[in-house]
A and B are shown apart, each in its own frame.
Chain A
Amino acid sequence: EAQVTQNPRYLITVTGKKLTVTCSQNMNHEYMSWYRQDPGLGLRQIYYSMNVEVTDKGDVPEGYKVSRKEKRNFPLILESPSPNQTSLYFCASSLSTPRETQYFGPGTRLLVL
């Protein structure tokens, strides 16, 4: 089954404790991206990747890092989480560009205390 998976689905952590949210797709997609969803703000793009070792900032990259060492994986790293990073995070992938249909993961709900 074609899918995008994210782990964990729910996470409670404390300020400053490094964490990684994993994202994996099994569709051989080149384009992957991360979004955060906040009430009243919709989905905002954090980072995207056009292919292995090619990443770029989205609209709200501050406080986040990403890497793309393998085509299927695109982890989101919060080196020092802060309460304002409490949010619902979605990973997505598409064949090669954002102009194609995005396949979204189920979301990761993060609470930073």
Chain B
Amino acid sequence: AQKVTQAQTEISVVEKEDVTLDCVYETRDTTYYLFWYKQPPSGELVFLIRRNSFDEQNEISGRYSWNFQKSTSSFNFTITASQVVDSAVYFCALSASRTNFGNEKLTFGTGTRLTIIP
């Protein structure tokens, strides 16, 4: 079984502050993939990043950065110098390697609603 926990239901920060969204995952597989998706108020789901379990290197993309730590089963997402346009619901997701036939699922966390206050 695989599970993703996003314990932060809602976060509000003032514009230009940094904010970190937490994601903790569970899987018994050694090969797996982690994702972050953004859902702005308009409702669509926007892909942000994909990371496989063998690549623990942190990634930075502009104001966004991701910290992957296998030791704590976490894949946290940090927004630096937040902007109002970052206001959205953010989902973390996990897909494990195919160890059993039929186990081709993608499991999402419950999401974190981020509000950036101008």
Q: Report which A residues bind B (CB closer than 8 A).
A: 31, 33, 35, 40-45, 48, 50, 56, 58-59, 88, 90, 92, 97-104, 106-107
* Bound complex: CA A35 to CA B108 (Å): 10
Report the interface size class on chain B: 20 to 34
Which residue from B9, B91, B102 sits with its C-beta under 8 Å from A43? B91
B35 is an interface residue with CB less than 8 A from chain A: yes
B107 at the interface (CB under 8 A from A): yes
Residues of B whose CB lies within 8 Å of any CB of A are 6, 9, 32-33, 35, 37, 43-45, 47, 50, 52, 91, 93, 95, 97-98, 102, 104-111
Residue on A nearest B49 in the bound complex, by CB? A101
- Contact at A58–B47, with CB atoms within 8 Å? no
Are B44 and A104 in contact (CB-based, < 8 A)? yes
Tell me whether A45 and B107 are in contact in the complex, defined as CB-CB below 8 angstroms, given that A99-B95, A107-B43 are known contacts.
yes
Given A58, A90, A106, which contacts B105 in the complex, CB threshold below 8 Å?
A58
Q: Does B91 contact A102, Cβ atoms closer than 8 Å?
A: no
Q: Are A97 and B95 in contact (CB under 8 A)?
A: yes
